[in-house]
Amino acid sequence: MKWVLIYSSVGEAGTGLALLIAPSLVGWLLLGEELTGIAIPVARVAGIALIALAAACWPGPPRVGMLFYSAAVTVYLAYVGFAGGLSGILLWPAVVL
């Protein structure tokens, strides 16, 4: 069972990194359509979640995955707010919390 979790973690981390680096390419490969507009930041948050899932499934304390997810999404949402020009009503409360 331990090896299944390790292989799963590696696959999830690879998919998550691909979503962070090239979300449109992953969207095209999986769905046959390039991602545009708001789908790109959403795909990157999904990539962060997959990397956090990989960290949580890796042998060791699962809290590492949750800590990584919280920190990475906070930093990414702050970046989107400052540099991306996107700003919904709940963006900054989500960054603060």
Q: Where are the domains of the chain?
A: 2-96
What is the sign, positive or negative, of the torsion defined by CA atoms of 10, 4, 31, 29? positive
- Tens place of pLDDT for every residue, the chain, 97 residues? 678 888 888 999 999 999 999 999 999 999 999 999 999 999 999 999 999 999 888 877 878 888 999 999 999 999 999 997 778 899 899 899 8
Give me the pLDDT at residue 65, please.
86
Give the number of other Cβ atoms within 10 Å of residue 69's Cβ.
Answer: 19
Give me the pLDDT at residue 4, please.
85
The pair of three-digit structure tokens given for residue 71, joined into one six-digit string = 């920190």
Give me the pLDDT at residue 25, please.
96
Q: List CB contacts of 24: < 8 A, sequence separation 6 or more.
A: 34, 35, 36, 40
Q: List CB contacts of 62: < 8 A, sequence separation 6 or more.
A: 56
